[in-house]
Amino acid sequence: MFEGIKNKFIKLFKSSTSGTEIIRRDEVENTIRNILLEADVDYDTAQIITERLDRRIIKSGRKIEMDLVKEYLKETITEILNEIPPALDILNAPKKPYVILFLGINGTGKTTTISKIASYLRKNGKRVVLAAADTFRAGAIEQISALGSDIGVNVIKHTAGSDPSSVAFDAIEHAKARDIDYVLVDSAGRMQTNKNLIDEMRKIKRVAKPDLTVMVLDSMIGQDAYNQAEVFMNEIKFDAVILTKLDTDARGGAVLTIVHQLKKPVLFLGTGQGFDDLIKFDPKWYIGKIIP
């Protein structure tokens, strides 16, 4: 996980076994900026990191020890990640049923992520119902139905091509009647520039009135993940992000780009295909993975 950025930082900071190798300040800025860019961190975010790092090390004069650079870099990235308020602990939802709407382009792992969240809630003693509101594809209804069966939660569904909002509405009414804690609403994921999709998402939000809207993004596509999220943010709005496929993300920069550019908390990280392959996002964990 994150081998690209991790190995580059290992090489940089282990170039001296004592950790006291001296490096020029201008070399620090250029080297670290390049590492971040190669890890798929967008230019603006990489620039902010290097500028803030430079402000930390400027008091050291023209040259600085490498071990101190490493500590300052960790402090800088921590600062950026902590500028965003932490995500809501969904286990302590303030109302019942608590409705979560999931957005995301086909292929991001959205429906699989919903099943992971459902499994997580179930294992913590919560009652959950799923809404198969991606009625655009019959395969999507079949997928979430199969996943719901595996987890042991009910799936409210209509026929393919039916109104997605009515599915969400029926799932919420089902939850209210049965004192269910959470309604997790799947949604269509055809291209984000499709006007019909945007209109469909707006209608679901009006009808379902979700308490939390979550954008599911594929970490593997890097900058494109931010571009996708930006369209949804401008057109629909969302409250938090879940990043998927972290187990196959060698570059590792998507997290930094998403947090800094979107100013939205990261709720969970997907680290595999299993129901348990989901971890709460923790800045300390992330920094430990990219700067060993």
Does the annotation flag 188 for ligand binding? yes
Q: Edge-to-edge strands of the sheet including 278-280?
A: 154-156, 128-131, 182-185, 98-103, 212-218, 240-244, 266-270, 278-280
288 is annotated as contributing to ligand binding: no
According to the annotation, is 263 in a ligand binding site? no
Token duo for residue 89: 């602990």
Q: Does the annotation flag 108 for ligand binding?
A: yes
Q: Is 189 annotated as a binding residue?
A: yes
- Of 73, 83, 75, 80, the residue nearest 29 (C-alpha): 73
78 labelled binding-site residue: no
Amino acid occupying residue 68:
L
135 annotated to bind ligand = no
Residue 221 assigned ligand-binding role: no
- Residue 26 annotated as binding? no
CA 24 from chain centre, in angstroms, equals 36
**Residue 44, burial from CB neighbour count under 10 angstroms (0-12, 13-18, 19+):** exposed
Q: Contact at 8 Å (CB) between 225 and 217?
A: yes
- Give buried/exposed letters for 186-213 (b at 16+ CB in 10 A, else e): bbbbeebeeeebbebbeebbebbebbbb
Check the annotation: does 76 bind a ligand.
Answer: no
Q: What angle do CA 162, 193, 208 make, to 5 degrees?
A: 40
* 152 known member of a binding site: no
> Among all chains, which residue has been given the structure tokens 């971890």?
279
Q: Is 35 a known ligand-binding residue? A: no
- Residue 247 annotated as binding site: yes
φ and ψ at residue 118, rounded to 5 degrees: -60, -45
CA 261 centroid distance within chain: 13
Report whether 253 belongs to an annotated binding site. no
Q: DSSP character for 85?
A: P
Q: Is 190 a known ligand-binding residue?
A: yes
Q: Cα separation of 33 and 118, whole Å?
A: 39
Q: Is 244 one of the annotated binding-site residues?
A: yes
110 a known binding residue?
yes
Query: Binding site membership: which residues?
Result: 104-111, 186-190, 244-247
Query: Binding site membership for GTP: which residues?
Result: 104-111, 186-190, 244-247
